[in-house]
Structures are given as structure tokens and as C-alpha cells.
Structure 1
């Protein structure tokens, strides 16, 4: 690990000096940990990264996020896409249950929140992602028992983490100029171009390696991007979390596992216990799109899970019920 070149890289990219030194400190601590096991950051199996983050949880759990940010910066610098994938696997949606904890208190009061979470500890960032569904099963069951099915759905619908972003001013302008159908097709083609660029540049698309097979999958997904309209409904399908791995297995359960983005449920799909997770949990994933569409249309919309990895298929598809006065050309 060339620390000096990494430091130069961070400073050249306008990272403040203190954060630069914090990141280097975390990486040196990781290197020291690896050396005790006769490994280095260049030789370690990235699948063992979670062993270190779980170790950090026992030492100083507040340091895990800084370490993962440091590692992601190093991985981008060193072109270690395998570390990008491993780090994002641990970090994805890490604060979702903290947000549920806060939302219940805000909407239903702290006493109700405390009753629901009594005896439960939210899994911290850094633990193995496949351990998280055990918590999901328990807390969603308690929410539904205490508040009822409708209020559980309402809590999940806004999404429990950051939703879909983008250049909304430009997208709204394109939508008004093109109409909904041409706009959706443009966004689908934009998504294909994104994946083609990742393939050509050798960079990961979020947490996955992109090759010709992955690009072809995205091209053939007619409801990717922001979806495709059929009557008064837009059907939108997320491109899977790990397309290449999904394509390489014939096991439907593992295809579903690789399709799902959410660490709070993926492990349950893998071990066959997904029936213990509330069937409404994917309302959260629909909520990832909801805010975007509401800004685009400038009015409330309804979105529902249509078919998901949790429900039994190797993809996650949502139905966006269009509001009135959508521009159709």
C-alpha cells in the first residue's frame, strides 16, 4: 500500500488534510491487523473484510464508518473494484433501522417506540450483513402487532434510507418536452449508457463489476431506469444488485439473493427464512422511487411492490400508479 501516493491522490482531489490523515490512520490500522495474520491489503481475500469490521464493532463501533469511507477511497485510487464491492456490501442501507427507530418515535411517540424496541439492539454498521434479517423479522413483527398492518406499511413507504436522486430540474424539463413515454425510454437508454461506460472504464456500477453480459442484461430490461408505462401504471424494475453473479447461477434462491439490494432481508432469502420477514418490507424499496416520481409529476403518487426477490422472483418490480394530468404525447 503506497501511503504517500494515496495521500497525494486525496489532497489532489481537494480532501481536507484532517480527513486525509484520518483515512490514512484507519488504513494503517487495518494493515497492522492484517500483518498479524501474515497478510497485506494487497493479498487479503476481500470476503474477509467483514471479519475486520466485526472486530472494529467490538473495539470502537463509531470508527467503522470512517474506516469504510477510507477503504472506498483507497479502492477507487488503487482500482480495487473487489474492495468496493465488499465495502458497499457491508455499508449498504446501514442506517435503515435507526431511521425506523426515529420515525416511530416521531409519528407514534417515544413510549411506543421504546415498547417496540424493548430488548432489541439494532445491528451496528460493521456486522456481517447476513446477520441483519434476524432483527428485521422481530422488529417488523412487533410494529405490526402494536400498530397494525396499515401503520406498518405507512412507516415503510417513505423509504428508510436515502431515495433516488438526480438532476430534477433537467428531468422535469425533459419530461415536459418529450412526454412521459419518450422520457421513460430516454432514461432507460441513459441507464444502458451508464453501464456501458462502467464496462469500458473498468469501474463498478455501485457494487458490481460490469462486463458485456451485464450490459446485455441491462439492455434487455425493458422496465429499467424509471420504467415503462402500461396504461395508467408505470412498471419499473431495478437492475439486480449483483447481475453477473445472478447470471452465473442456476439456483433460483441465489438468483433472488443476488437480485436484492437490501441487507436487512437478503440473508433471509439466502437461508430460506424469508417467509418470516413481513411481506410489506419491500414497501421501503418502492419508497426509494416514490420521492423522485412525486417531484417529477409535482403531485403525490402511489407505488406498490409488484414482484420482488422477497416474494419469490429474481428481480424487483414496482407499480407506479400515475396521477392525473400526466403529459402523454
Structure 2
């Protein structure tokens, strides 16, 4: 591990000294774990990060989140984007079910929450993502049986995890400046394609995926890819697949669904062809993620519905956003 270079990198990025020192402690512990097999942090084989986080769970280590933050910083420093993709797979929406637990307690009686979660252990941060869908399947069955589909959807609709709001606020400034939903959608689509082209040129990641000319062309040729395309009083928005390149290169429809889905709490079921075992109502959580964006853009409540998703058997996930009447001109 290049400690000297990493220290300089952190200092240049104005990381506080206490956090910096903590990163080194955690990464040295990881290196000690790897050294038993003669492996270096700089050349990790696939799966080794998750093996270590599972080890930390077994030892009741409570610093898994801090470790992943340290490792993603080091991965950025050495420009090993494969590691970043693996870390995102492990950490994506890690606290969603904890938030659901709290939300049920807030909306209903504690007794109802405890009954729904009875004898179920929420897979903790660091658990292998493939362990999560079975939990989601069971918790959805219990919720829908106990409180009904309508109230289950209402619980999921605000989304079970947040997203950064500052970029959305900047987009709202563009929306106010243009004062036209069609022009706004054109601008955001143009910016998306330009951003992907920049990733292609620089070899950097768009979230959890590499970008090449095929990825850029896929987005360019699919006009509903987020932010979406207007259709009357609605916006039809298709989410760019979680890993587009892999989605495009596989002929296995199960894997196409797997590579389309962002949600670690259901994605693993698709590899086994078991997505229909999980209630598709869970995708209202994903609709809520999109809703968070449009409610800031329109500065009012917005209805967003999943029209088809990987959980319903579709190869891509598509949502319908209602445009408020005053913006339908």
C-alpha cells in the first residue's frame, strides 16, 4: 500500500487529520488480513472485499462503513475503478431496511412493527448482496399481509434511502430559467450524454459502471433514459441500467435484468430467475428516488409510478412521472 502517496492525496483533498488517521488504521488492518494469503490492497482479486466485510461482521466489528469509506478513497487514489464498483455493490442502500423498520414504527404501533420483523435479522452492511433478496421477499409478504398493499406502497413511496439534493437544486435553477419542461428535459439529456462522453474519454466511472462508445450510443438511441421524455401530461423515464455495458453484452435475460437493477435488496434474485417471488410493489421505493428529484424541480408533491421493472420481468426499469398542471403548457 502506497501510504505516502495516499497521505498526500488525502491532504490535497482537505481530509481532516482524525479521519485520515482512522483511514490508515483500517486499511492497515485490511492489509494484515490480506497478507495471510500474500495479497496486497493494490491488487485485490474480485470478492476479497466482501470476504473481509463478512469477516468483520462475524467479529462484530462496527467500523465497516468507515472501512469502506477508507477503501473507496484509496481506490480513487490508485484509480482502481473495479474496486469502487465492488464497494458500491456492497454498500448500495445498505440502511434501507433499517429505515423501513423505523418508518413502520413511526406510522403504526410498535407491536405491528415487531410482528412484521419477528425472528428476522436485517442483513447488516457488509453482508454479501445475494443474501438480501430473501429478506426482502419475506418482509414484503409480511407487510402486505399485515397492513395491505396500499399502505405498504405508501411506506415505500418516499424511498428508503436519500440522495444528494444540491445537484437537484442546481437543476431546479435551470428549470426556472428555461420555464419550459420540454426544454429542460432536452438540456438534461444533453448534459447526460456529454457526461457519458467525458467518462468514455477519460476512462472514469458513471456511478458503478464503465462507459464506452456502445454505452453512449445506447443512451443516445433511447430517448426515455432519465431524465425522460414527455408524453402528454407525463414524463416517461427509463433508468439507465446499473451496469450498461454488461447489460448490453449478455444474451441471458436473467442477467440483463440483474444488470439493469440498482437495488441490492432485490438484484440477486434475478440471477436465479426468482424475481417474481418478490412483490413488485417494492419498486415503489425506486419510484420514490425519482420522486425526490421531481418534487424539488417542481417544488410540490409529485406522483411517480413504476410502469415496468426488472421485478415485473422487464429488461429495463421505466417510471411515469405526473407533470403538475401548471407546467403542462
TM range, normalised to the smaller chain?
A: over 0.9
Residue 272 (structure 1) aligns with: 273
* Contact residue 159 and residue 285 of structure 1 kept, 8 A: yes
Question: How far, CA to CA, are the matches of 1:6 and 1:220 in structure 2?
Answer: 41
**Secondary structure of residue in 1 paired with 2:113:** helix
Superposition TM-score, scaled by structure 1 size: 0.96
Structure 1: state its 5+ residue gaps.
none
Deviation of the 1:166 alpha carbon: 4.4
Question: How far, CA to CA, are the matches of 1:54 and 1:199 in structure 2?
Answer: 34
Deviation of the 1:164 alpha carbon: 6.2
Residue 138 (structure 1) aligns with: 138
Residue 53 (structure 1) aligns with: 53
* Contact residue 307 and residue 318 of structure 2 kept, 8 A: yes
Question: How far, CA to CA, are the matches of 1:220 and 1:240 in structure 2?
Answer: 14
Once the two structures are overlaid, the 10-residue window that deviates more, 294-303 or 261-270, is 294-303
Question: How far, CA to CA, are the matches of 1:87 and 1:168 in structure 2?
Answer: 25
Residue 2 (structure 1) aligns with: 2
Question: How far, CA to CA, are the matches of 2:149 and 2:275 in structure 1?
Answer: 18
* Contact residue 275 and residue 310 of structure 2 kept, 8 A: no
Residue 64 (structure 1) aligns with: 64
Question: How far, CA to CA, are the matches of 1:13 and 1:46 in structure 2?
Answer: 28
Deviation of the 1:308 alpha carbon: 0.8
* Contact residue 164 and residue 292 of structure 1 kept, 8 A: no
Residue 318 (structure 2) aligns with: 317
Question: How far, CA to CA, are the matches of 2:87 and 2:253 in structure 1?
Answer: 25
* Contact residue 240 and residue 258 of structure 1 kept, 8 A: yes
Residue 260 (structure 1) aligns with: 261
* Contact residue 156 and residue 285 of structure 2 kept, 8 A: yes
Deviation of the 1:225 alpha carbon: 2.8
Deviation of the 1:29 alpha carbon: 1.0
Task: List per-residue Cα deviations over 1:205-258 (Å, max 9, x = no partner).
Answer: 111111222222222221123111101110011100011111110111100000
Residue 13 (structure 1) aligns with: 13
Residue 303 (structure 1) aligns with: 304
Residue 37 (structure 2) aligns with: 37
Question: How far, CA to CA, are the matches of 2:173 and 2:19 in structure 1?
Answer: 38
Structure 2: state its 5+ residue gaps.
none
Question: How far, CA to CA, are the matches of 1:103 and 1:234 in structure 2?
Answer: 29
Residue 105 (structure 2) aligns with: 105
**Secondary structure of residue in 2 paired with 1:320:** strand
Question: How far, CA to CA, are the matches of 2:206 and 2:323 in structure 1?
Answer: 29
Deviation of the 1:7 alpha carbon: 1.1
Task: List per-residue Cα deviations over 1:167-218 (Å, max 9, x = no partner).
Answer: 4444334323430011011111111111111122221111111122222222
Question: How far, CA to CA, are the matches of 2:28 and 2:62 in structure 1?
Answer: 17
* Contact residue 50 and residue 90 of structure 2 kept, 8 A: yes
Task: List per-residue Cα deviations over 1:67-125 (Å, max 9, x = no partner).
Answer: 11011000000000010000001000000000100000011122211111110110000
Deviation of the 1:33 alpha carbon: 0.8
Residue 161 (structure 2) aligns with: 161
Residue 217 (structure 2) aligns with: 216
Measured on the aligned residues, the alpha-carbon RMSD in Å equals 1.4
Superposition TM-score, scaled by structure 2 size: 0.96
